[in-house]
Structure 1
Amino acid sequence: MSTHAARLKALRDQLARESLDGFVVPLTDEHMSEYVGGYAQRLAWLTGFQGSAGSAVVLPEAAAIFTDGRYTIQVRQQVDGAHWEYVPVPQVSIADWLRDHAPQGGRIGYDPWLHTRGWVEEAKKALAERGAELVAVTRNPIDAVWDDQPAPSDAKLAVQGDDAAGRTSASKRAEIADWLAERKADAVVLSALDSIAWTFNVRGADVSHTPVALAYAIVNADGTADLFVAKDKVGDDVAQHLGNAVRVHDRSAFAPALGQFAGKRVAADPGGSVAAIFDALDAGGATILATRDPVVLAKAIKNDAEISGHKAAQARDGAALARFLKWAESEMPKGGVTELSAADRLQAFREETGVLKDLSFDTISATGPNGAIPHYKVTAESSLPIETGQLYLVDSGGQYEDGTTDVTRVIPVGEPTQEMRDRFTRVLKGHIAIATAVFPEGTTGGQIDAFARRPLWEVGCDYGHGTGHGVGSYLAVHEGPQRIAAPNYPGGGPAEPLRAGMFLSNEPGYYKANEFGIRIENLVLVTQQDIPGAESVMLGFETLTFCPIERSLIEPALLTEEERRWLDAYHARVLEILGPQLSPDERAWLDAKCRPIASR
C-alpha cells in the first residue's frame, strides 16, 4: 500500500472511531491563509497534492479532491486516481458534491477553525437535503493520525521600521479606531496574518516565503489593541516597539477573549475569519458586525515609502534575474541543467544581493511539458532535465525588507518553433494591452481582463487563470482585494475597483498541455493619469518590473507600431535601471537583448 493510501485508510479508521461518516479537508490554516505553515499542510500530507489551492472530502467508500483549472494536470500527476475522484471547481462545489455523495443520515465532520461561516451554512443546507448533518470537531482527526506533524514555528517577531512602513502602527490603529467609530462598533477582530503584520508594523517567519507570524489581534475603539501570540516570540525590541497601547497575550487566550464582549458590537470579516471566531463571539453575547477587515483595503493602497522601497527591490531583483537569464542562455543548451538546479542557481543570484530575506514563493522552474502546469512546483522527484527544443519558464520572486517581487520570463533552449513564437507574441500583445490600459476611476480588474486575452481569443486560444493578482509590501505575494480576473476564471471574485497606489501583477499566459507553457509577468502600480481634457479621473499602470523580454521568441510582424514602441521603450528602461548594476560582460549581453525590435 502506498504512503498516501495508508494515510487515507488511517483517517477513515479515525473517523469511524469518532462516529463520523466523512470529513472535509481544506488547504488553509486557522487564519484562512493561502500559504500555510508545515503544521497545517494537511491536504498535502493526506493526498500528495502540492498545489496552493484545493480541498478534499473523505467518505467511507469515496474520496474526492477539488481543484480549479490551474491544477488540472498537476492534481492528476500528484494524487492517485485509484483512490481519489478529481472534481473541478467552481463547476462543482464541495457542498454540491456532498449533496450527491454523503451517506443518507450521515455525520460529516469539519474543523470550525478552517472554514468560514458562509461555507458552513452552505454545507449544512446541502447535507440537510440528504438527511445528513455537518458536525464540528474539537480536534482535527488528521492531527490524530499524523504522527510526525511539524510543530508550529517558534520564530521571533521582527520590527518593520517606520521608514520602510511609511506610517507608524499607532497611526494605523487610530485609523481603524475611526473606522470603528463610524460604525458604532467597540472592536474589530483581525485574524488574517498579513493584516496583523501590517497593522502592528511587525514581520515574522512562521510561513515559508511570507514574512508573517502566527497571531490574532483585537483592535479597540480607543486605538488600543490586544495581540495574541506565543509570548516567547516577542523580544524586548518588539515589546518596546509595540508600546503600552498594545497588550500582548498568549495565543491560546484568543478564543476565551472572544467570549468577553457581551453587549458589545464587534466587527469580524465573514470572508477572512473562520467560523469558530463567529461561534465564540455569538456564545459570548456579542453583536457581530459582519464586514470586511478594514485593513484589507488600507494595506492594498501603498504609500510613498512602500512604493519607493518596492522600486528599489525591483531594481536589484531585476539585475539578479538578468544575470540568471544570461547564465541560462549559455549553460542550458550544453545539457546537464535540470529544473531543480536552475531554480537553485537563480536563488543563488538573488542571495548574492546580500539582502534577500526569502523567496516570495517556491520558484516555478519548468521546462517543456511542466511549463504547461501554471502552478508547477519542482521537486527532486519531478525535476526534468532541460533539453534543446524546449521552452523554459521561470516564475520567481524575492522577499526583501523594502519590497516583494514576482516576475515570469520564458526563454527557448535552442531554436523555437513558429507555433512557440506565435503564442509568445500573442501573450506579449496581451501583456502590453494591460500595461498601456487607461480606464476611469471605479473600473474593476475583471473589466479589463479581456484586454489581455483578445490576441489569443482571435486564434481560438485562452489561458485558465486570472491575468493579475495584488501584491503586498514585504508581505504576501498574493494580496487582495485587487485583481485582474473576470469572475469566470480562477482568481476571479467580487468586483473591487482599482485604486491608485495598488500593486498588481500583469501575467497573461498560454499553455499547450504536455508540450510547453508561456507566461510574461511584470508587476505594475495603479496610477492616476494626466490626460488633457479628461472629463473624469482616469487611471492606468506604471510598470515596476524591469528585465528583458526574450526577443528571439517575438514575431515582430504580429506587433503593431504602438506595441513595438512600448517594447522598445520598456527595454530602454531595462538598460537604464539594470545596466549600472552589471559587469561589462553582462552589460554587453543586456545591450543585445534590449535592441529595438524591427518589423519584418
Structure 2
Amino acid sequence: MTYIEKLQALRKLMAGHNIDAYIITAADPHISEYLPAHYKAIPFVSGFTGSAGTLVITQEFAGLWTDSRYFTQAEAQLSGSGYELVKLKIAHTPEYIDWLSGVLPKGAKVGFNYQLITVTLATALKNSLQQQQITVTNVDFVSEIWTDRVGLPQEKAYLIDAEAAGLSISAKITQVRTNLIAYGAGYHFISALDDIAWLFNLRGSDVDYNPVTLSFALITPNETKLFINEEKLSKNDIETLNQQGVDLYPYDEAANALETLPEEATVFIDPKRTCFGLYQLLPQTAKIISGINPVTHLKSLKNDTEIKHIGKAMLHDGVALTRFFKWLEDRLGKEKITEWSAAQKLDAFRAENASFVGLSFNTISGYNANGALPHYTVTAESDQEINGDGLFLVDSGGQYLYGTTDITRVIPIGNCIVRQADDYTLVLKGLIEGSKLIFPAGTNGYQIDAVCRKPLWEYGINFGHGTGHGIGFFLNVHEGPQTISPANVDIPFKPGMVTSIEPGIYRPAKHGVRIENLVLCISHNHTEFGDFLAFETLTLCYIDTSVINKSLLESHQLAWLNHYNQTVFNQLQPLLSVEEAAWLKEKCKAI
C-alpha cells in the first residue's frame, strides 16, 4: 500500500470504531528512543524516519508534530503521503493536545495504543481532553493494516563481568533496594531497557545502536525478577544471574506479574519511562510512588572502573578519527568521496579495533547544506560528493566493550568564506566556555546551557537543540537524568556524570557547524562558599584550527584550544604510526 492508501485504511477503521482522532506515537512498551523494527509505526504509515514525532489523524486532517531538528527532513519525507508537517514551537511538548481540544466536538473519542505511550503523556491527554468532554480509548489500528510486520527481535544477549562494570549485579540490586527503602516503596517495576542493562550487567543487540535486550524487571521485597527470553542467554550467564539473586521469567509474563501484585503493595515507577498499558494493570488499591528510576540516577554516576574504561574507549576512538581525517585529506581530489563513502570509511577505521561492537548512532555525514540539518541521514538520493569549497560536518560515535563515544567535528574543504569561519569560531567559543566552566554544586543543566550559548547570543544566533546529553557506559548514547538544555530540568550535575557539550549554528541551504566533546563532571575545590565542580574533557580528537577567526577568540579561549590539541597529540601519538603522528602533530600545532 502507498502512504495515502494506508491513511485511508486507518480512517476507515476509525470510522468503524467511532474514533474521531487517532494518535500514533514513536515508542515501544519500553519507551525507547531507538525502536526495534517491529515498533517503527510512524515510518510505516507516513514515511517519516526521524526519531521524534507524533502523528495525529482525523477524518479531515493528518499531521506530524515534530521539532525544528526535523523540519526540513519531514517536509521532504511527508511529500505526497497525506500528512502535513506541524512545527512544534517548543521541542518535546505534546502541543497536539490543545489542537485536539480545539477541533474535536464534545463527546468525541480519541484512540491510541496504551502500550506505546508513557504514563505521563496518557494522563495529560486524558485530563486535558476530559475537560472538553472528550474521552480516550485503547486501540491499535496500525497492527491491523501492517500485514507484513516483522516480529520482535530475538538476538543473543550476554553479561559483562563485574570487573568490567565496576560492580556486581547483587551490589547494584542492593543499591536500588536502599533507594527504594528511602522512598518507602516495597516494589519497583522497570521497563527502560538501558536501566535494566545497567542493573543486571546485561547487554544485547535487539535495538540498533543501543546494546540492550528486550526485558522487564520487577524488584519485590523478597525477589528480583528479570523477564526475558531465556534462549537469548547462555547457560553460564543464567547461572551467574541466579547466583547473584536474580530469578528469570518469560518476557511476556511481566504483565501478569503486575496484575497479581498484592493489593496493598507500594510500587515505585517512573511515569516517563513506563507505558500506560502496563501501569493500568497495577492493583487499583496499590500505592504508587512516582519518580525517576533509582537506576537512572545510579548509572549516571560513573564509578572509577567505568571512568577508566571510558578513557580507553576515547583513546581508541581518537586513533580511528585521526586515521579517518588523514585519509580524507590525503584522498580528496584524487578519488570521488561522498558523504556516504566517508561515513563508511570512518566505520571501517573504528571496526579495526578488536573491542568495537558497533556504532552508537547512525553517523551524520553532511557537506555544506546537508550539514545544516542537525539530524541529517545520508540517503542514495541526498548523497553529495565532498569537493569544492565548504564545510564537512561529521557527528559519529562508537560502542566499545568498555565505553560509548559521541563526537562531532567540522572540517574545512577548500576555501571557506568569512561567515563560515565566524560561525565555526563562535561555536568553538561555546564549546570552550562550557568545557572550562567552574560552577557550584547544585548547578543544573539549564544554567550551564546559557553559558555555552552566550557567545552565540551576543551575535543574535541560537540553535534549536539541547547543548548536551548524558552518555552511557557501553550503553545508550543518550541517557539521563542530566541534560544541558534550556528546559528547566531540576537535576543538578554531580561528579561522575559524563555529558556531551555540542553547540551549533545552522544556516539552511548553506552550511552547519557543530563541535562536540564529551566531558566528565569532577570535584574542583571547596571554598568558604561551598563545593565547586568542573568538567574534564574526555574526547581525544584534534579540533581543526585552519578555519578559525582568531580575532573572535579571547586569550584564555585560545589557551584552552592550544592546550587541548596538545593533549590530544600527547595521548594519541604512542598509538599512531610515524607518518600518522607527524600529520597529527601538524594539526595540533598551537596557533
TM range (shorter): over 0.9
Aligned residue runs from structure 1 range 118-197, under 5 A: 118-137=120-139, 140-197=140-197
**Residues 321 and 505 of structure 1: CA distance in aligned 2, closer, same or farther (over 3 Å):** same
Task: Measure the CA separation in 2 of the matches of 1:478 and 1:273.
Answer: 17
**Stretch deviating more after TM superposition (75-84 or 161-170):** 75-84
Shift of 1:184: 3.1
- 1:84-103 alignment runs, 5 A limit: 84-91=83-90, 93-102=95-104
Residue 503 of structure 1 corresponds to 498
- Counterpart CA distance in 2 for 1:21 and 1:514 is 39
Give 3-state SS (helix, strand or coil) of 1:378's partner.
Answer: coil
Look up the match of 2:553: 559
Q: Which runs of 5 or more residues in structure 1 are unaligned?
A: 488-492
- State the secondary structure of the residue aligned to 2:425: helix
SS at match of 2:63: strand
Displacement after TM superposition at 1:411 (Å): 0.7
Structure 1 residue 504, shift from structure 2 partner: 0.1
* Letter paired with 1:240: E
Name the amino acid aligned to 2:511.
Answer: F
CA 391–103 in structure 1, closer or farther in 2 if over 3 Å, else same: farther
Q: Which residue of 1 aligns with 2:54?
A: 55
Report the counterpart of residue 277 of structure 1 in structure 2.
278
The one-character-per-residue Cα deviations of 1:239-264 (angstroms, maximum 9, x if unpaired) are 01201521111111111110122211
Distance in 2 (alpha carbons) for counterparts of 1:79 and 1:469: 29
Q: Distance in 2 between matches of 1:82 and 1:351?
A: 38
Report the CA distance shift for 1:16/1:335 in structure 2 as closer, same or farther (over 3 A): farther
Structure 1 distance, partners of 2:80, 2:503, is 30
- Supply the distance in 2 between the matched residues of 1:509 and 1:260 (Cα, whole angstroms): 50
Post-superposition Cα deviations, 1:485-508, rounded to whole Å, max 9, x if no partner, equal: 111xxxxx5221000000000101
Select which of 564, 579, 583 maps to 2:573: 579
Q: State how far apart, in whole Å, the 2-side matches of 1:481 and 1:416 are.
A: 39
Q: Which amino acid aligns with 1:503?
A: V
Aligned residues of 2:445 and 2:489 also touching (Cα < 8 A): no
Q: Which residue of 2 aligns with 1:592?
A: 586
The offset of 1:534, in angstroms, is 5.2
> How many Å apart are 1:82 and its aligned residue?
6.6
Matched, 1:424 2:419: no
Which residue matches 1:550? 544
> What is the CA–CA distance in structure 1 between the aligned matches of 2:430 and 2:168, rounded to whole Å?
39
- 1:414: Cα distance to partner? 0.7
Structure 2: distance between partners of 1:82 and 1:149: 20
Report the residue type matching 1:266 in the other structure: V
- How far apart are the structure 1 equivalents of 2:335 and 2:27? 39
Which amino acid is the alignment partner of residue 76 of structure 1?
E
Q: 1:335, 1:386 within 8 Å by CA — same for their partners in 2?
A: no
- Once the two structures are TM-superposed, the CA of residue 75 in structure 1 deviates from its matched residue by 1.3
1:80 alignment partner, SS class: coil
Distance in 2 of aligned mates of 1:403 and 1:257: 34
CA contact (8 A) 1:159 1:237 kept: no
Whether the 8 Å contact between 1:21 and 1:108 is mirrored in structure 2 is yes
What is the match of residue 541 of structure 1?
A: 535
Provide the rounded CA distance (Å) in 2 between the counterparts of 1:147 and 1:329: 48
Q: CA deviation at 1:568?
A: 0.9
Counterpart Cα distance in 1 of 2:418 and 2:184: 63
Paired residues for 1:35-114 under 5 Å: 35-80=34-79, 83-91=82-90, 93-102=95-104, 104-114=106-116
Contact 1:50-1:377 within 8 A present in 2 as well: no
TM alignment of 1:468-479, pairs within 5 A: 468-479=468-479
Q: In 2, Cα distance between the equivalents of 1:230 and 1:564?
A: 54
Structure 2 partner of 1:490: none
Instruction: Name the SS for the 1:474 alignment partner.
Output: coil
Q: What is the SS of the residue equivalent to 2:442?
A: coil
Matches within 5 A, 1:192-591: 192-222=192-222, 224-244=223-243, 245-261=245-261, 262-283=263-284, 285-334=285-334, 336-487=336-487, 494-530=489-525, 533=527, 535-591=529-585
> How far apart are the structure 1 equivalents of 2:73 and 2:528?
47
In 2, are the aligned partners of 1:217 and 1:228 still within 8 Å (CA)? yes
In the alignment, is the contact (CA less than 8 A) between 2:31 and 2:192 conserved in 1?
Answer: yes
Question: Residues 196 and 82 (structure 1 numbering): CA distance in 2 closer, same or farther, change over 3 Å?
Answer: closer
CA distance 1:445–1:333, shift in 2 (3 Å)? farther
Deviations 1:163-208 (A, max 9, x none): 1110001011111112222233221001100110011111111000
What is the deviation of 1:89? Answer: 2.5
1:384 & 1:102 partners in 2: Cα distance?
Answer: 45
TM-score of the aligned structures, taking structure 2 as reference length: 0.96
Misfit runs of 4+, over 6 Å: none
Q: 1:556 to 1:13 in 2, by over 3 A?
A: same
Identify which range, 303-312 or 459-468, moves more after superposition: 459-468
Deviation at 1:127, TM superposition (A): 2.8
DSSP 3-state at the match of 2:247:
strand
| Deviation digits for residues 18-74 of structure 1 (CA, Å, limit 9, x no counterpart) | 332221111111111111111111111112112111111111221110111211222
Q: Give 3-state SS (helix, strand or coil) of 2:489's partner.
A: coil
Q: What code does the residue aligned with 1:593 have? A: K
> Once the 2 structures are TM-superposed, how far is the Cα of residue 378 of structure 1 from its aligned partner?
1.5
The answer (yes or no) to whether the contact 2:502–2:517 under 8 Å persists in 1 is yes
Residues 290, 310 of structure 1: CA spacing in aligned structure 2 closer, same or farther, 3 A cutoff? same
Q: How many residues align?
A: 586
